[in-house]
C-alpha cells in the first residue's frame, strides 16, 4: 500500500503532479520542472522529503557500530556535525549512501538513509549490531522539509531564534522553528544552491504549522523532478542510478568518503582497488549534438565499441544543454575525451567534462 506524508493533501490542493516514489505518493512537479529548478537556483523553494529514512543509534557502542558499517571516519564528528558516508557491502559495492549526524558525541547519532532502502539498511545494520547498540527506526514519525536556494536562510531566519544564516555546510543546530520545539536544522543540501533541511516529529499538527509558516513567506513548493535536475547539475549521485550494490565508492568518485585508517566492511577489497587501480569510473559528460541521455543508454567509442553505460541524464535547465553521468572504461575517462551516447540506435557525440556542471 502506498504511503502518504503529512503534506500529501497540501501537495494535491496545490495541484501538484503526483506519482509513486519509494513507496510514497510524492509530488513530481507543480508549475513545471524548469520553472521550479530556476526558483531554487535563483531564490528559494521547499521540498517535502519526508519519505527519507531516519535511524537513531544510542549507547556507548554506537560509534563503534557506525565505524564498522560505514566507509567514512565518524570518529571525527563532534556534537552538531554531520558527515556524508556510505554503507559498503561485503563485495565492495554500496548498500546505500547516507548522512551521519552526531547528536551527542560517542553516545547518540542519527543516520539519514534513502527512502527506497529503509528496510534494507535497517536489516543490514541490525545484523551487524553485535554490541547491544540501542537502535530506533524513527522514519515513519519524522518529517523532513528541505528549503533550498540562495535566499532560503535569509527568508527563514525570522521563524527561529537560532542563527541559521551562518550555519556551516554539514553542521546542524537544534531548537524552536516556527513555534515548534526540538527541530533539527541542518545544512547538508542536495541541490548545490544553499539552504537548510528541517527534521521534526509529526505531532499536534506541527507539520502543517511549519509548512504554512514557510508558505507564508512566499517560498514555493518544489517537486522531485526539479530535485533531480538540480542534483545532476552538481554531479551528486542518486542511489539506484549512479551508485548501487555493484558500484564501488572508488569507481563512483567517492574515495574522499572511504577512509582506510579504520576497519570497515570490505576494507580489504577497496584497499586492493586503490592499490591496483579501478577499471571503470563515473564521469560527467555533456552532449555535443542534439539528444538527451537517459539511464541505461549505452556509451560507445568512435569505433562503435561499447565502453560504458549512462546512469543519469537530463536537459540541464541552468545550462541549456544536455548532460549526464555514466560509468566508462578508464582509458576513455580523461577530460575532453570524445564519447558517443547510443540514442535510439544513433551514436550521438558527447565529451567527458568535469563536474559540477553548474
Query: Can you tell me the mean pLDDT for 15-42?
Result: 97
Query: Can you tell me the mean pLDDT for 147-162?
Result: 98
The CATH number of the domain covering residues in 279-353: 2.40.30.110
pLDDT of residue 71: 98
Residue 227, pLDDT above cutoff 90:
yes
Rg (the chain; Cα; Å):
21
Is 243 within 8 Å of 117 (Cβ atoms)?
no
Residue 263: phi and psi, rounded to 5, are -75, 140
Residue 122, pLDDT above cutoff 90:
yes
Write the pLDDT tens digit of every residue in 270-319. 999 999 999 999 999 999 999 999 999 999 999 999 999 999 999 999 99
Where do we find the cell 545544512? Answer: 187
Write the pLDDT tens digit of every residue in 58-116. 999 999 999 999 999 999 999 999 999 999 999 999 999 999 999 999 999 999 999 99
More confidently predicted of 1 and 239: 239
C-beta neighbour count of 336 within 10 angstroms: 8
d(CA 315, CA 328): 21
C-beta neighbour count of 115 within 10 angstroms: 18
Write the pLDDT tens digit of every residue in 162-215. 999 999 999 999 999 999 999 999 999 999 999 999 999 989 899 999 999 999
Query: Can you tell me the mean pLDDT for 350-354?
Result: 98
Q: Is the dihedral of CA 113, 143, 78, 162 positive or negative?
A: positive
DSSP state of 48: E
* Band (358; pLDDT cuts 50, 70, 90): confident
d(CA 211, CA 144): 11
Residue 33, pLDDT above cutoff 90:
yes
Alpha-helical (H) ranges within the chain are 8-13, 33-42, 62-69, 118-127, 152-156, 206-215, 224-234, 267-276
pLDDT of residue 204: 87
Is 284 within 8 Å of 354 (Cβ atoms)?
yes
Query: Can you tell me the mean pLDDT for 335-340?
Result: 98
Residue % of the chain over a pLDDT of 90? 98
Residue 306: all three cell numbers together? 561499447
Is 120 within 8 Å of 127 (Cβ atoms)?
no
d(CA 85, CA 63): 14
Residue % of the chain over a pLDDT of 70? 100
Could you list the beta-strand ranges (E) of the chain: 17-21, 24-29, 45-48, 53-58, 82-88, 94-104, 108-113, 134-137, 142-148, 172-177, 180-186, 195-201, 220-222, 280-287, 298-300, 306-316, 321-329, 338-343, 346-353
Amino acid at each position: 500500500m502506498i504511503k502518504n506524508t503529512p503534506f500529501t493533501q497540501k501537495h494535491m490542493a496545490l495541484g501538484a503532479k503526483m506519482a509513486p516514489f519509494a513507496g510514497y505518493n510524492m509530488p513530481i512537479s507543480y508549475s513545471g520542472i524548469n520553472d521550479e529548478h530556476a526558483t531554487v537556483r535563483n531564490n528559494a523553494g521547499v521540498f517535502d522529503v519526508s519519505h527519507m529514512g531516519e535511524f537513531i543509534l544510542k549507547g556507548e557502542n554506537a560509534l563503534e557500530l557506525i565505524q564498522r558499517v560505514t566507509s567514512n571516519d565518524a570518529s571525527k564528528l563532534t556534537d552538531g556535525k554531520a558527515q556524508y558516508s556510505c554503507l559498503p557491502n561485503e563485495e565492495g559495492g554500496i548498500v546505500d549512501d547516507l548522512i551521519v549526524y552526531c547528536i551527542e558525541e560517542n553516545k547518540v547519532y542519527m543516520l539519514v538513509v534513502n527512502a527506497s532502502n529503509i528496510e534494507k539498511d535497517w536489516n543490514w545494520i541490525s545484523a551487524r549490531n553485535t554490541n547491544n547498540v540501542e537502535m530506533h527506526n524513527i522514519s515513519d514519525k519524522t518529517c523532513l522539509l528541505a528549503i533550498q536556494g540562495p535566499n532560503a536562510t535569509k527568508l527563514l531566519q525570522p521563524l527561529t531564534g537560532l542563527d541559521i544564516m551562518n550555519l556551516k555546510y554539514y553542521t546542524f543546530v537544534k531548537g524552536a522553528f516556527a513555534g515548534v520545539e526540538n527541530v533539527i536544522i541542518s545544512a547538508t543540501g542536495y541541490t548545490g544552491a544553499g539552504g537548510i533541511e528541517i527534521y521534526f516529529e509529526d505531532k499536534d499538527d506541527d507539520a502543517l504549522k511549519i509548512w504554512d509558516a514557510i508558505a507564508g513567506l512566499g517560498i514555493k513548493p518544489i517537486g522531485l523532478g526539479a530535485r533531480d535536475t538540480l542534483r545532476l547539475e552538481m554531479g551528486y549521485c542518486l542511489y539506484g542510478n549512479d551508485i548501487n550494490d555493484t558500484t564501488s565508492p572508488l569507481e563512483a568518485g567517492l574515495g574522499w568518503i572511504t577512509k582506510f585508517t579504520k576497519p570497515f566492511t570490505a576494507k580489504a577489497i577497496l584497499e586492493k582497488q586503490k592499490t591496483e587501480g579501478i577499471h571503470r569510473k563515473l564521469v560527467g559528460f555533456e552532449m555535443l549534438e542534439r539528444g538527451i541521455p537517459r539511464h541505461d543508454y549505452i556509451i560507445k567509442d568512435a569505433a562503435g565499441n561499447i565502453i560504458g553505460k549512462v546512469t543519469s541524464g537530463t536537459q540541464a535547465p541552468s545550462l541549456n544543454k544536455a548532460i549526464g553521468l555514466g560509468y566508462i572504461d578508464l582509458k576513455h575517462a580523461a577530460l575532453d575525451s570524445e564519447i558517443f551516447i547510443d540514442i535510439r540506435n544513433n551514436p550521438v557525440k558527447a565529451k567527458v567534462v568535469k563536474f559540477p556542471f553548474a
